[in-house]
Amino acid sequence: MDEKLNQTVQKAGILIDALPFIQRFRGSTVVIKYGGSAMIDERLKETFARDVVMMESIGIRPVIVHGGGAEITTVMERMGLEAQFHKGQRVTDAETLEVAEMVLAGKLNGEIVTRINRAGGRAAGLSGKDGGLIEARKMTTPDDERDMGFVGEVARVRPEIIKVLIGDGFIPVISPIGSCDDGQTYNINADFVAAEIAAALEARKLVLLTDVRGICRDMADEASLIATIATGDVDGLIESGVIAGGMIPKIRAAQAALAGGIRKTHILDGRLPHSILLELFTVEGIGTEIVS
């Protein structure tokens, strides 16, 4: 058998190996929190769009919730505004909120929708304010040590608009902006928005893309990756420093999704091309899964 034909046969074998996983997840909803390098690197942007379209084409129902903190900071700097953070959260005054909504619900959401459509899918962009999707409330810090401004948390998800879009064959792309009863807009952590939407949709999985391999016992050594973490072990890993910094809100979001009925959540390295497909369609999987 010549080399070219052998490579073709190997490709067919990969598809056959993926068949049981395709059958398992067909008809299931998978919520993906899209952020980090996967939203910045041009090659990864295109790869992500094609992967999402492939998922939808084989009967999986992807729902995308995106972040965009780096882009918000860049735009603020261009406008002469200083970004302020408190314990990893962006302090959001009125000017910052205006920039955040412009960047998240406008620029970035539109770009993601365009890329997915260009890859052959049918994406529809949403803000959490559309159709009353995300009811928000003001987030408070312990002992009210710092007023975070217009930073919110999810009070309630009304998923009807997402279900309508999925039922019509669209891929929803959602920006993490919500509003409360009095009409005030809030910027919300995208990890928690993804978790609450996953629970409201009774999704099969929640996938959180990040810029590290997963949760490692030693972040300088990817060989120390922890493949599976039970939610009951999370507090101990935080206390020991294994889970720290920006990984804490991600693991808390994963716990919230599990508490809401999601079977499994996954923290994956979005810098790795096709990371979502590798997690869904291979025995080994990648990254860290968090289970009840």
d(CA 258, CA 64): 18
14 in a structural domain = no
Low-confidence ranges of the chain (pLDDT < 70): 1, 8, 88, 141-145, 285
CB atoms near residue 277 (< 10 Å): 17
Residue identified by tokens 């099969």 is: 204
Structurally, the chain folds into a number of domains equal to 1
Closest Cα to residue 204, out of 173, 232, 166, 170? 166
**Domain membership flag for residue 2:** no
Q: What is the pLDDT of residue 10?
A: 74
Cα separation values, 241 from 86, 165, 229, Å? 19, 41, 15
The parent domain of residue 71 ranges over: 27-291
Is position 222 within any domain? yes
- CATH number of the domain where residue 215 is located: 3.40.1160.10
Does residue 191 lie in a domain region?
A: yes
Q: CA–CA separation, 198 vs 70, rounded Å?
A: 24
What per-residue confidence (pLDDT) applies to 245? Answer: 78
Residue 4 in domain:
no
* pLDDT of amino acid 141: 67
Q: Which amino acid is present at 204?
A: R
Q: For residue 205, what are the CA distances in angstroms to 78, 247, 272?
A: 38, 19, 19
The confidence score (pLDDT) of residue 86 equals 75
| DSSP codes of every residue in 144-197 | G-S--BSEEEEEEE-THHHHHHHHTT-EEEEESEEE-TT--EEEE-HHHHHHHH
Q: What integer pLDDT is reported at residue 1 of this predicted model?
A: 59
